[in-house]
Amino acid sequence: MEAPQGKRMKVGGSLSTRVLTAATLLLMIFFGLAFAALDIAFRRAAERSLEDVLESQVLGLLAAADPDQSGMLNLPPDLPEPKFSRPGSGLYGRLIDDQEETVWISRSAVGMRLPAFIPATPGRIEFRRFSLADGTDLMSAALRIEWEFSDGQLAPFVFSVSSSLDSLMAQVRRYRNWLSGGFAALVLILIGAQILVLRFLLRPLQQAEEEVREIEAGARRRLSEGYPTEIEARSSSVNMLIDSERARSERYRESLDNLAHSLKTPLAVIRTQAESPDRIDPDIVEEQVATMQGIVDYQLQRATTGGAPLGRKHTKALPLARSLLDALSKVYREKPVRIDRDLESDAVFPGGRGDLTEILGNLLDNAFKFCRQRVRLCISTGSAAVGTGGGIEILVEDDGPGLPDTNSPRLLERGVRGTQRAPGQGIGLAVVRDIVEAYGGEITLARSTLGGAAIRVTIGT
């Protein structure tokens, strides 16, 4: 049954185990075939060698044969090959006449019933294998000739020599044992070598696996460099994925922090209205609810896209600045704050309302929070603000304690607070920095002429 299209069958087991298993199976098949081939070759060579011996023995009997006066052939009792004279030696000689009667048999074959073997072709030695009744295997070589006697008569005779195959089979078994042991040792050596080679070759994969586990455990941020070419592309892709996911998670976390931070002011305005039920202004509540909805939409958009679209919208700064100043005046109504305004009516922010709200809202909220009595907001535009390129410049000052070190870039980092005199999370300046940098602008910290902090934001068109 075929797997559904687009899905792959999962194969378990480690890569090294699978490679080692496959290589071992190939080795076993190779050595098995090699063993069979060498065994057949050795056995045939041994049989051929035995045939050569039997052939020489047949020719030896033929040379030793001597005719007598009765028209028969005789063989001497003692032949050059001593095995013919020793019973049970495994080498047996025999002379057969034309009636297939045994004319002569060696003393080594006394008491044995050797099978008759008559070659079909005269003058040619033929070989054949036999098995005796007791299970002994023999190889026989026979030569049929026409012997011419001195009176000119011809008589057929067969010279036959048989040899037991016990010694040959013992030799084959010894060879097999030696070959099996040698191949087994060689297989073990090769498997050991394969294990070492695989460990060396798969070390980068094992290192990558260990680093992935460390990343999952939080002990490492990304995969290291320097992998082989075949793995480098994958490790780079994994690093890009890790960085992307980490950046996305960080952006979501920051967006939640920013959302909570941004909602504080409108919530405070609504709380102020709620604390004075006899003076509730529905327009103010509705305005703050709309502001909160805008903040939520803005932060969701930043969380999913990583920033506001640049150069697509322009927002007039004056109405938004007035709205924020009025809202903060209500939030900090128990604090006698004097607000100095220097707002150009044609000042335009080169971006969306949400970004400008985040910039002005965070800077003004900090100024109201830390001031003693005075806050100054200056918004200018055109070449006087940012050179000949146009743009907008925002300056927020207060007469509070000021910043401890206006030259320290850490004051713009998330979670770092310039003072502990008022509650907060150290998020506002970091949010402003992120937005300003996204627009290619600049934020600077300085000492205000009012005595407190002065924060200047400059953004070009």
| Rounded average pLDDT over 22-45 | 92
Q: What is the mean pLDDT of residues 362-376?
A: 91
Give pTM, 2 decimals. 0.49
Domain locations in the chain as residue ranges = 22-172, 205-250, 311-460
Which CATH class, in words, describes the domain spanning 22-172?
alpha beta
What's the rounded Cα separation, in Å, for the pair 292 and 284? 12
- Percent of the chain scored above 90 by pLDDT? 27
Higher-confidence residue of 423 and 103: namely: 103
| Side-chain half-sphere CA neighbours of 242 within 13 A | 17
Q: 271 or 340: whose pLDDT is higher?
A: 340
Does 270 have pLDDT greater than 80? no
CA distances from 351 to 320, 435, 438 (A): 13, 10, 11
pLDDT of residue 200 exceeding 90, the answer is no
77-85 mean pLDDT: 87
Q: Is 90 exceeded by the pLDDT of residue 207? A: no
* 375 or 2, which is more confident: 375
Residue 206 has what pLDDT?
A: 79
Question: How confident is the model at residue 434, as a pLDDT?
Answer: 84
Mean pLDDT over the full length of the chain? 81
Q: Pick the range with the lowest mean pLDDT from 136-145, 239-248, 425-434.
A: 239-248
409 vs 357, residue with greater confidence: 357
Residue 281 has pLDDT above 60, yes or no: yes
What is residue 311's predicted lDDT score, i.e. its pLDDT?
Answer: 46
Most confident range (mean pLDDT) of 44-48, 300-304, 418-422 is: 44-48
* pLDDT exceeds cutoff 80 at 440: yes
Asked whether residue 418 carries a pLDDT value surpassing 70, the answer given is no
Q: So what's the pLDDT on residue 199?
A: 84
For range 36-60, the mean pLDDT: 93
pLDDT value at 187 more than 50: yes
What kind of architecture, by CATH, is found in domain 311-460?
Answer: 2-Layer Sandwich (3.30)
In the structure, what pLDDT confidence band is assigned to residue 203 with cuts at 50, 70 and 90? confident
Q: Is the pLDDT of residue 381 over 60?
A: yes
Q: What is the structure's pLDDT at 384?
A: 45
Inter-residue contact 241 to 212 (CB < 8 Å): no
Cα dist from 50 to 139, 162, 241, 301, whole Å: 8, 10, 74, 95
Each residue's pLDDT tens digit, 320-363: 999 889 888 888 888 889 999 999 988 999 888 888 988 998 89
Confidence at residue 334, expressed as pLDDT on a 0 to 100 scale: 83
- pLDDT for 1 equals 46
Q: Are strands 154-164 and 91-96 parallel, antiparallel or unpaired?
A: antiparallel
Instruction: Name which residue leads in pLDDT, 195 or 202.
Output: 195
Q: Return the pLDDT at 231.
A: 74
Picking from 142-146, 170-174, 258-262, which range would have the lowest pLDDT averaged per residue? 258-262
Please check the confidence at residue 70 and state whether its pLDDT lies above 50: yes
* pLDDT band at residue 308 under the 50/70/90 scheme: very low
d(CA 339, CA 10): 69
Residue 188 confidence (pLDDT): 92
Q: Which of 250-264, 376-390, 428-442 has the highest mean pLDDT?
A: 428-442
Alpha carbon distance 54, 164 (integer Å) = 11
CB under 8 Å to 390, separation ≥6 — which residues?
Answer: 381, 382, 383, 460, 461
Determine the pLDDT at residue 310: 45
Judge whether residue 158 has pLDDT over 80: yes
